[in-house]
Structure 1
């Protein structure tokens, strides 16, 4: 990895910026991982936890399923109609429900799950005193309600057992309305298939019966109410009729029943009105007769022949005889004189006939006059009678105003009474018919296969639950785990540039691994050396210290390896053991630590006796020297800076194996005197919070941290997808790997 930092002069120590939060924008070389990759990383890292939880839940689900008692579910389907199918042609007593069908059906669903209905079913099926029923559903027989006398439950506990039986039925009942339909499924589940079918069918039947009973109760209530109203209406009708009759008797008002639509809307007519109508009709007839008689009389008075004379048979016979005689007389006059005896005889007959005709016409004229007089007198008499009846009728109308008021009250009371009476009869018929809007569509059959447990479904659910639990545990562990698992986390969690990662070497000492030019350790530290070459403008810093948060994180191995890699690059290198509390470099050279760094810090100026050469690794080393009473006091002076300056006169690079940071002041003191600090972080071995605290201490000492090295890294324990381990074995044969 190429890490570029600002150039530094030897001896300078710039401050370390505060570590950035994981995934925070602005972290050096860090990019926030996509959310799916983060989840995938967590799942792969904690895959064994997730798989273990899933396997445990799967096994638990299998065991629980096999131990479960088979349950059988019987289903009865009913239809709940929105409107009742009426047998009669009149409306029910109950008020029509509003158009909000949802409210209506939700009410019906609630009634299907009512406690009263459950207890009714328990009573009908005789479950209240059935010991096997309560045993089947695991009832607590220590309850006082289950006390027995003579081998039977006592009657005193019957109400409590009825309540318990209803609760048991409700707990195992399921109501499932079919979407967008009026069908409702009644499901009951128990360990007995036949019993489940009995309960489901009994539930549907009792729901229909309770629905009918509610309607009957509503009808009975309405009938009682109407009966009271009917008695009151009858009393008001009787009182109004008595009042009407009393007033008619006082006012002498006599009305006859009407045979049609008369002048009164009450259906009655008065005698005066009938008589007035009759006389008025007779008056009209008499007036017509008088006018006709007067016309005949006027015609006769003018001397003309009246129509009566013209129609008179006797006059017409006389006139015909006279005409015949007149014709005979005219014939004789043609031949004879008027004195001719036969002529005179005919003339005498004609004269006699004229007198007879005149006498008969006079008699007819007298008769016409008499008829006219009689018609006029009859008309006048009728007119006088009609005028008198008019006065009586007007007086009757004045007296009938109050009578009509009483009559209207009677009619109103009678109409109300008749309506209530008719309604009362209809309610009686409706109560007897029993209108119902609920019907059974499919009765419950005895189920042939258990509805639960379902092995495959339960195992699938158990597996899903296990995966969910495992995922939750993985996230919880991820949040609690502060270990650095991957090289990328050095930069993301700590904000340190990553110089490289060092694989964990087992079964071989680090020094022996460094002597093998093809070992994974050599490849890793060559990569770190390459990264160090980009940390300053002049390449690898001339003076550098290697430290860590706590002991045994691989800092000494890192210091040894960097010194070895630099020496192999034809550089003069000296490795200084700066850990005067727990020295380790002298073990690598096979010498003791009687002479070393502590001697120089204590005042000895000759450096050569304090060093020893490591021939196999190709560099010079300086042990820690005798362990001083307080190493920090020796490091606080200027002797360490003087030592580094003098060593740089003879060597190209000074590598100091520094003590750990936490709990000691040595590391910050050493870090402030070198050009740069390499920070070793143990993979899967140190919490990131502790590392951050240690880095803050170094930053407080104005140390320049070049970057971090992830030590003891195991690719198989890290997060997949990063490819940090591929280069360690590249080009090596199986024989090389086996060495």
Structure 2
């Protein structure tokens, strides 16, 4: 009886145990090959330079460069730098700087013959072509042996170079890092040179445009007689004319006109009022005359106190007072006549000023109209000047932008390697071990696929489409001794198979049963003998017929002679009773195969086999026939037609699946009733537990069951 499939890990373990010697041989061979290859390899030396690549350029000046400060802050920045470190252009710079095309030591350090590929004996290459070929070869060697290893989580990069020479490795590693720095500087200066060239062209164009716009502005202002006295520049850089000559003159004349108008109005008001007191008061002459008269009046009053009016002295003072009064009257008359003249003069002056103001106003209005086009010229001048000054400033900045220090710095230059980096014996042996394990695994899988024998009892019903009656474990003990012991695993296994056969027909165990196999030595004779023994112990009378007349073996199991037997009866001896012999096993009789006939197949084709079986079934409960193998012989199909059932014995790890399927197909072709299959010689240590009865008993691997 069958059980479930074992765990996948157990199946792999069984596979490893089965092919353990093959696996060990392949792994050992791989280790030996790895050891030999390591010892035969040329030592290789690796020199390393550590370089720092900063995100931002270190500027000595505060002038911004051509590129934005944000350039290089993206994640792609360092990926770009790593790609540049491995660029062909950098390898070409190193090759040219070190003149590697002419350096024989360089090619020797890489195990390369620089003359390989030359056309000796034919048309030789020219010197130029040969140098180009050697330069290209040196570049390829550099790219093949350089290694860029970024230091995780930092801006540091290790540049490693490997060759057969430690000095050459250090030399090239240092040159590689230096040329990388130089290439970075060259790219920066190349970018600023392009910018300077572009700016120079733009400055020349803008300078011409600025000069032309300024000439247009001056010419237009001269044509329109616009004289600017003051100009203001706004914070946006726009020029604005605040005052012109006309506006300044108009402002001054307008102020003079206002003053003349005020003077005229004041004079007219004074004339209309008829009052001269104000002018008289303000006149110094009148003031002096009045002061003298007051003095004389005081003297006269003092004299009148003492004298009469006719007194000479008083009279003289009185005459002087009268003369002063006449002078004051004449002065007041003169002042009154001057007011009219002032009014007329003020009116004339006011009119003249008004006429001039009107003229200037008309000129200013025209000038304002002309200023629209003037402002257009002025804006063009301002715009051109701003563009020119901005580009000129940028041009000056670019001129000093290259002063900035490089953002690439060499931290640790390469030193002369003290020991080879390759070959590494431990690493190579580990790789050889891994390769050996992989190769061994592939080989085991391939062998397992090629070896198509049945390894799992569950394969029987799945691939043969017949019931699995039971499994027989492999034992190192004698099978006959095991069958004599009713407590032995072998006896228990066949007892379980007998129980399975009891359900193969509607009346129990088949009356006539043939046991066959695909090829010899699969355990069919032992299985047939064991089933007969088990049936006899259960109280059934059984006769065991050895029908394998080409290679008989049953008589040796029971210790009988094979001088007479089945072949005698099939050849014409009708007395089958004297051909059947007793055995030491309970209730079991044996009919040996008898002498080997010239053609066993011809004997089995006669009707005498059916007659013999009919007679035996009258005397015995069961007839068991040890049939010859199926493949290559016609005996088994002929026998299986005469019996009620047939059991197919399949050896573990024996005949390929295709062979067993072919044998089963031959039985089906003759309409044989195959009641099931027995799986024999199962190594429980390789297969595991769970297949059949008693597999937990720990049987070791030993010799195969005795069979023919």
Q: Report TM bin, short chain.
A: 0.7 to 0.9
1:267 Cα deviation after fit: 6.8
2:123 match = none
Q: Is 2:524 the counterpart of 1:558?
A: no
With over 3 angstroms needed to count, the CA separation of the structure-2 counterparts of 1:36 and 1:304, relative to structure 1, is farther
Deviations 1:653-687 (A, max 9, x none): 21101122224443244334434333222233211
Q: Indicate which of 617, 627, 633 corresponds to 1:658.
A: 627
Alignment length, in residue pairs? 688
Q: Indicate which of 672, 686, 692 corresponds to 2:655.
A: 686
1:158 Cα deviation after fit: 2.3
Deviations 1:46-75 (A, max 9, x none): 333333333332333333334434433222
1:544 Cα deviation after fit: 1.9
2:351 match = 380
1:535 match = 501
2:23 match = 50
Q: Is 2:687 the counterpart of 1:719?
A: yes
Q: Distance in 2 between matches of 1:368 and 1:428?
A: 80
Q: Distance in 1 between matches of 2:643 and 2:391?
A: 115
TM-score in terms of structure 2 length? 0.82
Contact in 2 for aligned 1:81/1:438 (Cα 8 Å): yes
2:134 match = 161
With over 3 angstroms needed to count, the CA separation of the structure-2 counterparts of 1:278 and 1:247, relative to structure 1, is closer
Matches within 5 A, 1:207-246: 207-237=180-210
Tell me the SS of whatever aligns to 1:78.
Answer: strand
Q: Distance in 2 between matches of 1:386 and 1:290?
A: 13
Structure 1 portions without partners, runs of 5+? 2-28, 148-152, 733-739
1:203 match = 176
Deviations 1:8-61 (A, max 9, x none): xxxxxxxxxxxxxxxxxxxxx453444333333333333333333333323333
1:257 Cα deviation after fit: 6.2
Q: Distance in 1 between matches of 2:474 and 2:529?
A: 15
Contact in 1 for aligned 2:562/2:593 (Cα 8 Å): no
Deviations 1:669-721 (A, max 9, x none): 433443433322223321122223323443455544444333344455x3345
Matches within 5 A, 1:558-597: 558-586=527-555, 590-592=560-562, 594-596=564-566
Matches within 5 A, 1:102-501: 102-143=75-116, 157-237=130-210, 251=223, 253-254=224-225, 256=227, 258-261=229-232, 273-292=244-263, 294-295=265-266, 298-299=269-270, 301-304=272-275, 307-319=278-290, 353-367=324-338, 369-395=340-366, 409=380, 412-430=383-401, 433=403, 436-485=406-455, 487=457, 490=460, 494=464, 496-501=467-472
1:470 Cα deviation after fit: 1.9
Q: Distance in 1 between matches of 2:86 and 2:587?
A: 91
Q: Distance in 1 between matches of 2:239 and 2:146?
A: 65
TM-score in terms of structure 1 length? 0.79
With over 3 angstroms needed to count, the CA separation of the structure-2 counterparts of 1:535 and 1:132, relative to structure 1, is same
Tell me the SS of whatever aligns to 2:112.
Answer: coil
2:705 match = none
Q: Distance in 1 between matches of 2:572 and 2:299?
A: 213
1:64 match = 37
Contact in 2 for aligned 1:144/1:157 (Cα 8 Å): no
Q: Distance in 2 between matches of 1:365 and 1:179?
A: 112
Q: Is 2:575 the counterpart of 1:606?
A: yes
Q: Indicate which of 72, 76, 79 corresponds to 2:49.
A: 76
Contact in 2 for aligned 1:671/1:703 (Cα 8 Å): yes
Contact in 1 for aligned 2:57/2:407 (Cα 8 Å): yes
Q: Distance in 1 between matches of 2:699 and 2:358?
A: 149
1:238 Cα deviation after fit: 5.2
Contact in 2 for aligned 1:577/1:658 (Cα 8 Å): yes
Deviations 1:96-120 (A, max 9, x none): 8867724443332222112221122
Q: Distance in 1 between matches of 2:308 and 2:607?
A: 214
Contact in 2 for aligned 1:216/1:434 (Cα 8 Å): no
Deviations 1:314-359 (A, max 9, x none): 4445555666777788899999999999998877666655544444
Q: Distance in 2 between matches of 1:423 and 1:143?
A: 55
Contact in 2 for aligned 1:505/1:712 (Cα 8 Å): no
Q: Distance in 1 between matches of 2:333 and 2:233?
A: 51
Deviations 1:371-429 (A, max 9, x none): 44434323322221232233344455556666665565555555544444444444444
With over 3 angstroms needed to count, the CA separation of the structure-2 counterparts of 1:334 and 1:606, relative to structure 1, is farther
Contact in 1 for aligned 2:469/2:676 (Cα 8 Å): yes
With over 3 angstroms needed to count, the CA separation of the structure-2 counterparts of 1:527 and 1:53, relative to structure 1, is same
Q: Distance in 2 between matches of 1:526 and 1:244?
A: 126
1:617 Cα deviation after fit: 7.7
Tell me the SS of whatever aligns to 1:140.
Answer: coil
Q: Distance in 2 between matches of 1:436 and 1:254?
A: 59
Contact in 1 for aligned 2:53/2:155 (Cα 8 Å): yes
1:505 Cα deviation after fit: 5.1
Q: Distance in 2 between matches of 1:729 and 1:401?
A: 120
1:536 Cα deviation after fit: 1.7
With over 3 angstroms needed to count, the CA separation of the structure-2 counterparts of 1:286 and 1:677, relative to structure 1, is same
Q: Highest relative contact order (Cα 8 Å, sep 6+), 1 or 2?
A: 1
With over 3 angstroms needed to count, the CA separation of the structure-2 counterparts of 1:232 and 1:64, relative to structure 1, is same
Tell me the SS of whatever aligns to 2:100.
Answer: coil
Tell me the SS of whatever aligns to 1:189.
Answer: strand
Q: Distance in 1 between matches of 2:281 and 2:117?
A: 128
